[in-house]
Amino acid sequence: MKNVLIINGHEYYKKSKGELNQTIFNEIQHLLTDQFDIKTTVVDKGYEVEEEIEKWLWADVVIMQTPIYWFSIPGKFKQYIDRVYMDNIFFKGSNQYGRGGLLTGKKYMFSLTWNAPEAIFDNDEAFYEGKSLDEAIMHLHKMNQYVGMSPLPTYSIHDVVKHPNIDHYKHKLKNHVAEVFGIGEHQ
């Protein structure tokens, strides 16, 4: 994997201005830029669909930095997906539903920010009833599996409103990126 597309899927709201997502997005670029060719998209700033399709076709790995709003990605990021994941470019018809993906050999990674505390995952007594974080976002994984992509381990930070600890998040991200992409030293 040499070519990496990093997408910032944050959507601006007065209550959620996106500083944390932009910080993590910038940090991912910083951590990967010396060893990978990088292209970026900030959904909230606008984009050209054809240019985005070309970025996806160019990329070996797509990193999607996004907050989770109401259990999914922001509306503008969903609209981006709807416009960019094109029939006969990203997928085609198949005799078996979900097996027509054309982006095989490509990988994706979610980098997520949640207000939800980490303790609600893998906990039978909590909101997600024992489900893991990746089970909670299965619909997002399936969207990428449908187009033929394979997942890399998810990076996720939690409780971001009550406990905004940027230095901790950056340190955790550095270790995650080092492990997933085989760069630097784990610290």
pLDDT (tens digit per residue) in 147-156: 999 999 999 9
Each residue's pLDDT tens digit, 144-178: 999 999 999 999 999 888 877 888 889 999 999 99
What are the beta bridge partners of residue 113? 67, 157
Contacts of 1 (CB under 8 A, 6+ apart): 36, 60, 61, 107, 181
Q: What is the pTM of this model?
A: 0.93
Query: Cα(62)–Cα(95) distance, rounded to whole angstroms?
Result: 27
- The percentage of the chain sitting over the pLDDT mark of 70, rounded to a whole number, equals 97
Map residue 134 onto helix, strand or coil.
Answer: helix
Q: Helix, strand or coil for residue 175? A: helix
- What confidence tier does 187 reach under pLDDT thresholds 50, 70, 90? very low
**CA end-to-end distance (rounded Å), the chain:** 23
Return contacts of 164-171, CB within 8 angstroms, 24+ apart: 164/20, 166/20, 166/23, 169/20, 169/23, 169/24, 170/23, 170/24, 170/27
Domains by residue range for the chain, with CATH:
3-181 (3.40.50.360)
